[in-house]
Every structure is written in structure tokens, then in C-alpha cells.
Amino acid sequence: MTGNPDGGAPVGEVVEVEEWAKPLPGLDNVNEHYWRTARAGRLLIQECPRCGHRQWYPRALCTACGGDPAWLETAGRGVVHTYTVIRQQGIPAFKAELPYVVAMVELEEGPMVFGSMPGVDPALVSIGTPVEVWFAAAADDTGVPYWRPR
């Protein structure tokens, strides 16, 4: 994968977390850069230098042509494409946030990203709601992108 790994500016607030109790993503050579840059307040997608296809989440290959995708900085903004409200959840770290919205966000750059909106009153969310990213500092090497109305 190509693209500037260290070049972007933060696009969203990074909120420190006292103790992260939710599962952490398993970092690997495809997604590690994504999670590390999220820890720095940046939201990346991938763009294929060969065909121009943009995709999220990080993958080793372009899903359109099989090319080698490059990283692309986003502005961390989009609109809610669709969403659901989670009202039951047995895992304690999630249960504490009930009810919360999980949304498909259509980024200004095109791709859809899947994300949670903890702390946001579900009554404030509808299809088309403009949203912005923020990040929970889940670990030293991992930021978790979340969304809120802007």
C-alpha cells in the first residue's frame, strides 16, 4: 500500500478514555495504519491508483480491479445514509451506552463507513443528518472512530 503514512492533519477530536472495556480490533499489516492514524485524529479510506475506486474498510486489494490501494485522507464528514437504534445489549461496556445509534455514514469522499454514535440522543438522528467523526483513544496504537451530528 502506498500513500503518505504520516502526512495528514487531524480532522476530529481525540477523546482520551479512562479504561477501554470494549473489544479492540486485531491489528494486521493491512489495517494497522488505519487504526494508528485514527488514534491521531485522522480518518482514512483507500483509493486505487489504477482505477480510482475508493473503499472502506482497509483491504489488501482494490475490490474493483485487484490493484494495490493507496491511503486517502478524509475530511471526517458525511451524512447518515441509514441507521438503527440499539436498545438491548448484553455486553457491559456497550450496555452502559444504551440506547445508541449505529449508522452507515456516506462520506463526502464517497464510500460508506459503519460507525456508532454513543452519547447521541437517537431523536437527533435521521437519514440525511450531517455528521462528523471523533475518535476514542482506545489504546496507544488504536483510535476508534465514532460519529456525532455537526
Helix (H, G, I), strand (E, B) or coil at 147: strand
Q: Which is nearer to Zn ion, 47 or 132 (CB)?
A: 47
Pick the closer one to Zn ion by CB: 62 or 131.
Answer: 62
Residues within the interface to Zn ion (CB under 5 A): 48, 50-51, 53, 62, 64-65, 67
Minimum CB–partner distance for residue 42 and Zn ion (Å)? 23
DSSP 8-state secondary structure symbol assigned to residue 50:
T
| Nearer to Zn ion (CB atom), residue 62 or residue 113 | 62
In DSSP terms, which residues pair with 47 in a beta bridge? 54, 70
| Burial class, 136, CB count within 10 angstroms (exposed 0-12 / middle 13-18 / buried 19+) | buried
